[in-house]
Amino acid sequence: MDNTTTTHDAVDLLIVGGGINGTGIARDAVGRGLSVVMVEMNDLASGTSSASTKLFHGGLRYLEYFEFRLVREALIEREVLLRAMPHISWPMRFVLPYHPDMRFEGETPTSKVLNTLMPWMRGRRPAWLIRFGLFLYDTLAGRKMLPGTSRVDLRDGPEGTPLTDKFSTAFEYSDCWIEDSRLVALNARDAADRGAAILPRTKVTGAKRVDGIWAVTLQDAHSGDSRVVRAKMLVNAGGPWVGDILNAKAGVNSSEGVRLVRGSHIVTRKLYDQDKCYFFQGVDGRIIFAIPYETDFTLIGTTDAEHEDPAVPPVCTPEEQAYLLDFANQYFTRQITADDIVWTYSGVRPLYDEGASSATAATRDYTLKVNTDGGAPMLNIFGGKITTYRRLAESALDKIAPFFPGLSGPWTAGVPLPGGDFAVDGFDALVAKLATDYPFLSAFHARRLVRAYGTDAWLCLGTATSAADLGKDFGATLCAREVEWLMDKEFAQTAEDIVWRRSKLGLRLSKAEIDILSGWMDTKRTELQRAAAE
Ligand SMILES: Cc1cc2nc3c(=O)[nH]c(=O)nc-3n(C[C@H](O)[C@H](O)[C@H](O)COP(=O)(O)OP(=O)(O)OC[C@H]3O[C@@H](n4cnc5c(N)ncnc54)[C@H](O)[C@@H]3O)c2cc1C
């Protein structure tokens, strides 16, 4: 229901969706001089962009689908991104144990070729093919920093210790970790610092073209109030909701759509001591990862399941949990059960729908389409990965540029995100410096702050000279000073925004502690609103 309706002068872009694609485009566009409003109906990264496997990766398995363009772009992009954010992204080694029983998914182009040329393999993945895939992965990547592929003797090294005796050989390759929801928050923060209006908890409830301009109705989630913002161009970065925004909200008839594929993860207490990840291949042709997570945990995922409706919140079903446990148990000596699971999360991939046979086979590449029916342009984003978000934003700006003559060119490659202005190999030195400058921090605390905020950790801690100066202690090293920083600089509004997206302290805090944080933030928000109104 509209309570109030006002109009403003038209902004250049109104971007719908505060996931990685919406915030990435907002940052790039405002940096080129466009006026930008970005709206997100919930918290930033509350959709798919906090539920990924958290890898900047080329996607080794996509080679079997001959997705060379996507893999090459993503591989090259890993190092560009790593340099711009060495606090929230870091290199990791992936150990791929080999066994002759491993099979292809039946429908990949590679398996079809092999079934024709080598029918006696009966769908098995031969070792030479894995080596060839890794050779391509190394070669396509234009690597400068990340080490290449190597062979690992599992009978000898620590990589083999947690695995069953069945595996004696493995291959090892590089990809990078990325703190997905922090990536979104930092893109949003940088966009805001450059002049974009970032409006979380603001929903687009309708959009229509009036006299060649978009009139977009926005509803505030707290007050329920609505207002109309006029925009020269609408950018639909709604992820799983892209079709809903296109058809239901903007009333555009389009045959383009996304295929919604749910992916779930389980988190257990740390299952092994060495710091490498595992890439496990199943007898069903799928793969899963087991990744050291948040120091004391192991992350295992993911699944591929059709998901009909974006409005239905994705959850990791008991069947998906059992599937992931069973998959991991084929590799680990220590058999894990549902009792080992401490947390699960689930997200919906918005994959461009080009009619693939299975969820696993659907393309992970992105497609951008401009609609100009009725005048004012609308750019719709289908698909895309966290890894390619910056390149996707550049491609989006290529589509936007013709409507804004004189727009400047790409600029984001090599420009650090907030707090990321330090050397790629400078993380440990930065932690040591923070610990020296703030000697009251525990080692865990100093490390956590540099991982989260990089060089901005100093701004966050300010003039504090003792733990007491950081204000109320909510547990697990989370203090009022940091909560205020997150509310002020990173658009956090609720305890969940902080403990499950701006950080993963939800793994360490009790429900009672989170409730106290929630009450404290409610009071703080009311104070801030009152001060702003005066
Ligand atoms: C299980 C899984 C694992 C993955 N792993 C990886 C990985 O390791 N590496 C990688 O590169 N990629 C990975 N991906 C892919 C990647 O996470 C997604 O492609 C990416 O996050 C999509 O971002 P997005 O911005 O398009 O969508 P989203 O993050 O979903 O953002 C869209 C936003 O639009 C908002 N919205 C919708 N409708 C409205 C409205 N009417 N008004 C206002 N706001 C609205 C939603 O609330 C949502 O926050 C994975 C995906 C999944 C599901």
Give the mean pLDDT of 276-285: 91
Q: How far is the CA of 386 from the centre of ligand 1 (A)?
A: 8
Give the mean pLDDT of 261-268: 97
Model confidence at 440, in pLDDT bands (50, 70, 90)? very high
Give the mean pLDDT of 467-493: 98
Nearest to 234 by CA among 410, 373, 67: 373
Residues 6 or more apart whose CB falls under 8 angstroms from that of 19 comprise: 40, 44, 45, 47, 48, 49, 184, 237, 239
Query: Alpha helix (H) ranges present in 233-286?
Result: 242-243
Model confidence at 6, in pLDDT bands (50, 70, 90)? very low
Lowest average pLDDT, out of 32-41, 129-138, 195-204, goes to 129-138
What's residue 105's pLDDT?
66
Supply the residue whose CA is at minimum distance from atom 37 of ligand 1: 238
Crossing angle between the packed helical segments 511-533 and 480-489, to the nearest 10 degrees: 50
Displacement of CA 532 from its chain's centroid (Å): 32
User: Cβ(397)–Cβ(25) under 8 Å?
Assistant: yes
DSSP string of 137-198? HHHHTT-SSS---EEEETTTSGGGTTB-TT--EEEEEEEEEE-HHHHHHHHHHHHHHTT-EE
Ligand 1 atom nearest the C-alpha of 17 is 34
Task: Indicate whether residue 54 lines ligand 1 (CB < 6 A).
Answer: yes
Predicted TM-score (pTM) of the model is: 0.95
Task: Indicate whether residue 22 lines ligand 1 (CB < 6 A).
Answer: yes
Task: Indicate whether residue 133 lines ligand 1 (CB < 6 A).
Answer: no
What's residue 2's pLDDT?
39
Cα 102 to Cα 124: distance, rounded to the nearest angstrom: 6
Lowest average pLDDT, out of 163-172, 248-257, 482-491, goes to 248-257
Task: Indicate whether residue 75 lines ligand 1 (CB < 6 A).
Answer: no
3-state DSSP call for residue 478? Answer: strand
Model confidence at 115, in pLDDT bands (50, 70, 90)? low
Nearest to 202 by CA among 222, 232, 175: 222
- Show the tokens assigned to 434: 């923070």
Task: Indicate whether residue 21 lines ligand 1 (CB < 6 A).
Answer: yes
Letter for the amino acid at 116? Answer: T
Nearest to 302 by CA among 280, 335, 333: 280
Residues 6 or more apart whose CB falls under 8 angstroms from that of 105 comprise: 64, 111, 284, 285, 286, 358, 360, 361
Q: How far is the CA of 349 from the centre of ligand 1 (A)?
A: 7
Q: Pocket of ligand 1, candidates 16, 37, 52: which has the most ligand atoms within 8 Å of its Cβ, to mutate?
A: 52
Cα 169 to Cα 386: distance, rounded to the nearest angstrom: 31
Task: Indicate whether residue 362 lines ligand 1 (CB < 6 A).
Answer: no
What's residue 459's pLDDT?
98
Supply the residue whose CA is at minimum distance from atom 41 of ligand 1: 204
Nearest to 489 by CA among 430, 497, 394, 351: 497
Residue 247 DSSP label: I
Task: Indicate whether residue 289 lines ligand 1 (CB < 6 A).
Answer: no
Q: How far is the CA of 358 from the centre of ligand 1 (A)?
A: 20
User: Per residue in 183-227, pLDDT tens?
Assistant: 999 999 999 999 999 999 999 999 999 999 999 999 999 999 999
Model confidence at 365, in pLDDT bands (50, 70, 90)? confident
User: Per residue in 153-191, pLDDT tens?
Assistant: 999 899 999 999 999 999 999 999 999 999 999 999 999
Task: Indicate whether residue 61 lines ligand 1 (CB < 6 A).
Answer: no
Model confidence at 114, in pLDDT bands (50, 70, 90)? low
Give the mean pLDDT of 310-336: 97
What's residue 123's pLDDT?
67
Give 95 or 64, the one with higher predicted confidence. 95
Lowest average pLDDT, out of 363-367, 426-430, 453-457, 467-471, goes to 363-367
Q: How far is the CA of 255 from the centre of ligand 1 (A)?
A: 21
% of the chain beyond a pLDDT of 90? 78
Half-sphere exposure of 178 (CA within 13 A, CB side): 35
- Show the tokens assigned to 488: 């002020």
Model confidence at 92, in pLDDT bands (50, 70, 90)? very high
The answer on pLDDT for 278 being more than 80 is yes
Task: Output the average pLDDT for the chain.
Answer: 93
Task: Indicate whether residue 299 lines ligand 1 (CB < 6 A).
Answer: no
Residue where the block lists tokens 């872009």: 13
Cα 142 to Cα 146: distance, rounded to the nearest angstrom: 10
